[in-house]
Amino acid sequence: MLAPRKIKYRKTQKGHMRGMANSGDYVSFGSFGLKAMEPGWITSRQIEAARIAISRKVRKVGRMWIRIFPDKSITKKPAETRMGKGKGAPEYWVAVVKPGRILFEIEGLDKKEAEETFKLCSYKLPIKTKTVGRREIGA
């Protein structure tokens, strides 16, 4: 499962997911990408499930890139614990995704196969997504 090996601070604040993605908003490695259409948190387990769904289709014919990483810790206090006594321990890790962000990329598949693959992948994710092609420079 994905999680950072080393981090400066163990506990992060909630933060905001306002606006569009500033970076990682175009297909840069493969020929097709899966683009986020709404904001949300994607857990490391969801990323792993989506990765497996894509790799089953891509296997030997193509390549895959994961463009997001879960570097935000989500903490939780134990059940039936009184208020106070500080922030809870990290429970799981999430990637903060804004609309426009490319989540995964693939190469070596045609358009129909790519859309089929990303459709299977999108079932594993908690946000709306769409398949996009590579934007050629100067086009």
What CATH number is given to the structural domain containing 101? 3.90.1170.10
Look up the pTM and report it: 0.91
For residue 51, the enclosing domain spans: 38-77+89-133
What is the full per-residue pLDDT of the chain (139 aa) written as tens digits?
A: 778 899 898 899 999 999 999 999 999 999 999 999 999 999 999 999 999 999 998 888 899 999 999 999 999 999 999 999 999 999 999 999 999 999 999 999 999 999 999 999 999 999 999 999 987 654 4
The tally of domains found in the chain comes to 1
C-beta separation of 3 from 65 below 8 A: no
DSSP 23-45: SS-S--SSSEEEEE-S-EEEEHH
On whether residue 3 sits in a domain, the answer given is no
On whether residue 57 sits in a domain, the answer given is yes
